[in-house]
Structure 1
Amino acid sequence: MSDIGSPQQLLSLKVMRLVRPKLMPPNGGSGLSTDPADPSGFSQMISDATRSRCGDTRLDLPVGEFLIAPQMFENIYLGETFTFYVTCINETTDQKTTDVCVKCELQTNSQRVQLPCNIDSASLGVGESTGEVISHEVKEIGQHILICSVSYKTPQEEKMYFRKFFKFPVAKPIDVKTKFYSAENDDVFLEAQIENTSAAPMFLEKIELESSQNYTVTPILLPEDNEMRGCMLNPKDVRQYLFVLSPTDSHHQAGYKDMTTIGKLDMCWRTSMGERGRLQTSPLQRITPGHGDIRLFIDKMPACVRAAECFEMCCRIMNCTDRPLDLKLMLESTQALIYSCPSGVVLGQVAPNTSIPFSLQIVPVQAGFISISGIRLYDSFLKRTYENDDVAQLFVS
């Protein structure tokens, strides 16, 4: 942190970030170790004091041999909680200050946030101080400026005021890349690749996909897993997750144009010392596949049939337009199959974003894999014919 203040004030303001200790390197010594990167020498003072008090170089603490305290102002990452202690001290020898008020604000690239601080109308005698612990969840990346404003009155009732600025950057802890895959039955598969872009290991505690109202989500797990489990990610490590989203019963009323919003990824993690972070992505969007004016669904049909044996195929036609369709079913037999049901059947009007069922009786005349083709739908409103070929395949023995 860098600060700018006025040396002519009766009061001084100090800000200290509060963090948990970190693990010392494997080649460190015993006792409550010091951080060699600490320029203030405060950690060395703690170590010397504990040695002189205990009379030994080893503390009677079970974890004291493995921790470093304190540490320098380390990286702050998006989604973490920034906690600091602000204190105001009267360092004069003979003057008392009154109406001491401290205000803290956090300025980002897009906004200025007022932080809760209850230091108000305080009186500080010689050598006295007042302080408070303040926490704030970091929700933006980039440069942040902590602005601390102090106002008070001197013994002569003169109003005094000064500010200090503390600058620190906020980095992105994880990088998320998503890919969408569309299935024939309107299901959507979401692949999420999560990379640890921070400088320290993290434990991914929770990865959830909060789907939109048009979908229900199910995570795809390994056979040995019963639930979505967390994992440890070292810096630059990548973990992949797969979800399947199935349309709800109301997606037909919503229409295909409203099916672009999938949902949000919610991620929680912890650092090596248990500090928690949480991030949620912006709404994930996908490009809906183009189906034209109508879409033909195959609801039921056999996978294998015998030659010259009639079978039934249950179908459904959906109107993907914003206008009604007046459809007539036309059938054209091919070299591989013959339709044994009448052609020219009027299906009637189909409202927008709705579907109507119908069934076909088909007799295959060739052995091997054949394709179902020759289904024609004629719209009497626009005098347009919709051709549906190669809509399904089956094996004929």
Structure 2
Amino acid sequence: MSSPEHPSSSHHSLAFRVMRLCRPSFQVEDAILRLDPFDLFAGEDLFDDPSVSPHLLDRATTAPSREGGGAGGGEFSYRGRFQLQDPIDAMALPGFLMLPQSFGAIYLGETFCSYISVNNRSNFEARDVVIKAEIQTERQKIVLLDTSKSPVESIRSGGRYDFIVEHDVKELGPHTLVCTALYNDGDSERKYLPQFFKFVVANPLSVRTKVRSVKQRQQESQSDCVNDRPCDLTRSLMDSELTKSFLCILFNHVLLCNFPHSPTLFFQEKTFLEACIENHTKSNLYMDQVEFEPAQCWTATVLKADIHSSEVNSRVREIFKQPLLIQSGGGIHNFLYLLKQNADESGQVMVDGSNVLGKLQITWRTNLGESGRLQTQQILGSATAQKEIDIQLLDIPSMIILETPFSVCLRLRNRTERRMGPFEVHVSEDDSTEEKVVMVNGLKKQNLQQLDAHSFADFEVNMIAVRLGVHKISGITLLDVQTNNLLDTLPDLEVFVSSQ
């Protein structure tokens, strides 16, 4: 039962009684003396009552000796109650279920269900009773019950009118259940009774997300595989904020899918989303579903650890799935998703300067099956500015031989609604004093013609490497010929130069 807040109601005939309807909980005995079934029928003053039959007294005095409680026969004593009569007694669960004695902890995403009773405690009949129940929060007011169009005809003396209300909790913070009654009392006086029942809604779990974008070298025929030179990807992942527990999954998915060397490769950017869910409640949460709903231009795939060979194609495993449990009081579980942009989307969807990736749908159940559901806000990727003109790496040889010319294929794309150009592409020198190892083989500048709206043009830059090892291709920039403004710069690319 809750403790209502209301003005003095001594002059009112009616009164509200509210009880929260939820699943009962197991009653755990903390006391040393456990409950004996005989205690339900007899109290501690059993022997002082002259009306008690001798047969009942004999039953009370012989029960401890029969159960091996430690007391001698014919002696009624509690001294053996602390001893275990059965191994299951060590759980301290007597088998009773306990209904909530107050509103208790109410969490976001649950369904608040309450049993409300309007009692007539006067000696007169209450007539034309208009009952109203509503939930008030800091933002809104939600009507749960309103009988103004069909009032309760009468509530007799000592009688009551009962009803049940439900509300899906979607806001955090203080809530107030307001119950009001407008009625005619015995003197035919119209009276108004308000009562208030307050409770606070807490957050059952927290969701922390991390987003990381990784560029991969791929074949056109195998878009999910990468080249066997993981220099860029390895370094990018080690610098990321993804937890170590997911690095193995990432490398299994990204690095172990190799294919033979091919002269035709392209670069594709993949996005990894890690979601960490932490349980803030006092009970275990059994996750029914943790699903990522991607935005319109994205597709999502959940990444999991390798499954044991005995569990593959196991029909029993499909029927009896192991529940995903997040323990109470700070238990956590991590989920990892691979996000890809759809093939028909050439650009990125931007919202307030950030990429909208999608949102998480989370449903769970507590120990006795009560369900809850939450939906996160839109998860945003890294903020990137949309460029009008950009230059992209399209193709590079998988093997670069020392002092042998090779071509880097680039793509110039116009993302605007108008015609742009002409352009100039050149390779600038680094400001550092180090000697450049990978350099242009030929002219350092190229002139490109104008581009129509939403069109692109492919071109090549001839280069040569003069030293073995891992080196960078850098300094490829794009300029506007008319204004001489810098439009874009190709990010540095690491390549491996071999002797053969």
* Same fold, TM-score > 0.5, yes or no: yes
The answer to whether the 8 A contact 1:197-1:236 is kept is yes
**Residue 371 (structure 1) aligned with residue 478 (structure 2):** no
1:12 aligned partner: 15
2:458 aligned partner: 357
TM-score (norm 2): 0.64
Matches within 5 A, 1:75-114: 75-93=105-123, 95-114=124-143
The answer to whether the 8 A contact 1:350-1:356 is kept is no
How many Å separate the matches in 2 of 1:195 and 1:389?
Answer: 38
Secondary structure (helix, strand or coil) at the match of 2:347 reads helix
Q: CA deviation at 1:145?
A: 0.9
1:208 corresponds, among 291, 296, 311, to 291
How many Å separate the matches in 1 of 2:26 and 2:293?
Answer: 35
**Residue 264 (structure 1) aligned with residue 347 (structure 2):** no
1:236 aligned partner: 330
Secondary structure (helix, strand or coil) at the match of 2:277 reads strand
Pick closer, same or farther for the CA change 1:281–1:262 going to 2, 3 Å. Answer: same
How many Å separate the matches in 2 of 1:332 and 1:18?
Answer: 73
Larger deviation, residues 121-130 vs 74-83: 121-130
1:150 corresponds, among 156, 181, 190, to 181
Q: CA deviation at 1:244?
A: 2.5
Matches within 5 A, 1:205-354: 205-224=288-307, 230-248=324-342, 249-252=344-347, 254=349, 259-289=354-384, 294-319=389-414, 324-330=420-426, 335-339=437-441, 344-349=446-451, 351=453
Larger deviation, residues 11-20 vs 21-30: 21-30
The C-alpha deviation readout for 1:321-369, integer Å capped at 9, x for no partner, is 78734323345796545537995242432647x6433344545444333
Larger deviation, residues 336-345 vs 13-22: 336-345
The answer to whether the 8 A contact 1:326-1:350 is kept is no
Letter paired with 2:324: G
**Residue 168 (structure 1) aligned with residue 199 (structure 2):** yes
Pick closer, same or farther for the CA change 1:371–1:253 going to 2, 3 Å. Answer: closer
Q: CA deviation at 1:31?
A: 9.2
2:99 aligned partner: 70
How many Å separate the matches in 1 of 2:473 and 2:444?
Answer: 17
The answer to whether the 8 A contact 1:303-1:395 is kept is no
How many Å separate the matches in 2 of 1:97 and 1:389?
Answer: 81
The answer to whether the 8 A contact 1:117-1:134 is kept is no
How many Å separate the matches in 1 of 2:465 and 2:280?
Answer: 58
Q: CA deviation at 1:134?
A: 0.8
How many Å separate the matches in 2 of 1:86 and 1:377?
Answer: 72
How many Å separate the matches in 1 of 2:100 and 2:458?
Answer: 69
1:193 corresponds, among 276, 282, 290, to 276
Pick closer, same or farther for the CA change 1:178–1:300 going to 2, 3 Å. Answer: same
Pick closer, same or farther for the CA change 1:257–1:162 going to 2, 3 Å. Answer: closer
Secondary structure (helix, strand or coil) at the match of 1:116 reads strand
- Unmatched segments (≥5 aa) in structure 1: 33-54, 58-63
Pick closer, same or farther for the CA change 1:194–1:393 going to 2, 3 Å. Answer: same
TM-score (norm 1): 0.79
How many Å separate the matches in 2 of 1:257 and 1:329?
Answer: 31
How many Å separate the matches in 1 of 2:307 and 2:151?
Answer: 62
Structure 1 vs Structure 2 CA RMSD: 3.6
Pick closer, same or farther for the CA change 1:374–1:126 going to 2, 3 Å. Answer: closer
Q: CA deviation at 1:319?
A: 4.8
How many Å separate the matches in 1 of 2:469 and 2:284?
Answer: 56
Letter paired with 2:161: T
Q: CA deviation at 1:20?
A: 0.8
How many Å separate the matches in 2 of 1:212 and 1:229?
Answer: 28
Matches within 5 A, 1:382-393: 382-385=483-486, 388=490, 390-393=492-495
Q: CA deviation at 1:12?
A: 2.2
Letter paired with 1:221: K
Pick closer, same or farther for the CA change 1:96–1:320 going to 2, 3 Å. Answer: same
Q: CA deviation at 1:320?
A: 6.7
Letter paired with 2:15: S
How many Å separate the matches in 1 of 2:422 and 2:35?
Answer: 85
Letter paired with 2:422: D
Q: CA deviation at 1:289?
A: 3.7
2:249 aligned partner: none
1:127 corresponds, among 158, 165, 181, to 158
Q: Radius of gyration: which is bigger? A: 2
Greater strand content? 1
Identity %: 27
How many Å separate the matches in 2 of 1:109 and 1:121?
Answer: 29
Letter paired with 1:282: Q
Letter paired with 2:279: N
Q: CA deviation at 1:173?
A: 0.9
**Residue 23 (structure 1) aligned with residue 59 (structure 2):** no
The answer to whether the 8 A contact 2:278-2:330 is kept is yes
Greater helix content? 2
The answer to whether the 8 A contact 1:370-1:396 is kept is no
How many Å separate the matches in 2 of 1:132 and 1:257?
Answer: 47
The answer to whether the 8 A contact 1:332-1:339 is kept is no
Larger deviation, residues 232-241 vs 333-342: 333-342
The answer to whether the 8 A contact 1:216-1:247 is kept is yes
